[in-house]
Copies of this chain bind each other. A is one copy, B any other.
Amino acid sequence: MIPVFPLNQTPLDAESLAIQDIVRTALLEDLAQGDITTDSLPKLARLQKQALFRVRQDCVVSGLTVAGLVCQMVDPALVFTPMLQDGDVAQAGKVIAQVQGAMASILKAERTALNFLQHLSGVATETRRYVEAVSGTDTRITHTRKTTPGLRLLEQQAVLHGGGVPHRFNLGSCVMLKDNHLQVLGDINPNQVIAVAVKTLRAKISHTTKIEVEADTLAQVQQAVEAGADIILLDNMSPDTIREALSLIQNRAIAEASGGISLDTIRAYAETGVEVISTSKITLGVPSIDVGLDLE
């Protein structure tokens, strides 16, 4: 429960309580019945070794803190030393961390540590591609709730490591009013339904919570602005339509574009001046980064 990093390392911050649970689950998956190969060769427990985590392709690194925690949980005597920080760019061949200690322990930690690094660096690297595609604009890139079950906390951090910003963490973090929610207020004048819903919601939620309204049409954008939405999700609109939406909004709400935006088209969207673009493409099905562990 309580990581005791070697003194030369930054203590994990407090949210690591949640991260520890994620790491523990991953380790039990691989090691609940032991490592029968390594455990049957007892010399491995006595042999002290050093091994290098090395990326085999250019990437933005994410998962170093988690990999360190993996090593520590497998064997507190392992000394894990990151050479970079999460969020740093690494060229192919770069050593991003080293680990020292009993070879048996290194072998047991290896795969789980790498699985985190490969996936999270994949998220960070893909995010960086989107961030770079809009460079020079004021548009920020963020994720959606389309994340890998069980890994949202880490994937959200990886998005930050890639230069993106967080979106709402979960269904409790921000109101998101969608068509489906509006259906229930059916006997209300369609021109007023967003206004009624926003008013209903505002009365119940915290003053610290924002309301985001999904708009599929400019008419809905107009309604959402007038209803006092804090954020308007411009869903599946073309860059031109988004320009019209922004001229309707007139900075009275934050505009977020989403839906069908690819690496090819994102710059055109960003150039509309939309504040935020959210995309599932930086968390869902992202290519993983090749990372290996080389024993010296």
Chain A contact residues, CB within 8 Å of chain B? 1-5, 10-15, 17-18, 20, 22-41, 43-45, 47, 72-77, 102-105, 107-109, 111-112, 114-116, 118-119, 122, 140, 142, 145-153, 160, 165-177, 180-181, 183-185, 197, 200-201, 203-210, 212, 231, 254, 256, 275-276, 284-288, 295
Contact = CB atoms under 8 A, between A and B. Distances in A.
11 contacts: A13-B105, A25-B150, A33-B170, A33-B172, A38-B181, A40-B201, A41-B181, A119-B149, A167-B206, A167-B208, A208-B210
Most chain B beta-carbon neighbours within 10 Å: one of A29, A168, A170, A175: A29
Contacts of A165: 203-207
B4 A17 contact: no
Contact of A142 (B3, B40, B206): B206
Count this chain's copies in the assembly: 6
B1 A15 contact: no
A40 to B, nearest CB: 4
A23 B278 CA distance: 25
Contact of A2 (B17, B73, B206): B73
A22 to B, nearest CB: 7
A255 to B, nearest CB: 10
Nearest to A166: B206
Nearest to A1: B1
A18 B122 CA distance: 27
A217 to B, nearest CB: 18
B208 A212 contact: yes
A47 B184 contact: yes
Contacts of A1: 1-2, 20, 24, 73
Contact of A15 (B14, B33, B41, B76): B33
Q: Which of A41, A175, A210 counts the most B-chain CB atoms under 10 A from its CB?
A: A41
Contacts of A153: 29, 33-34
Contact of A148 (B115, B170, B185, B254): B115
Contacts of A184: 41, 43-44, 47, 103
A177 to B, nearest CB: 6
A289 B168 CA distance: 23
A172 B31 contact: yes
A31 B11 CA distance: 15
Task: Identify the 9 closest CB pairs spanning chains A and B, nearest first.
Answer: A33-B172, A285-B288, A26-B149, A15-B34, A35-B171, A174-B208, A166-B206, A14-B108, A150-B150
A272 to B, nearest CB: 16
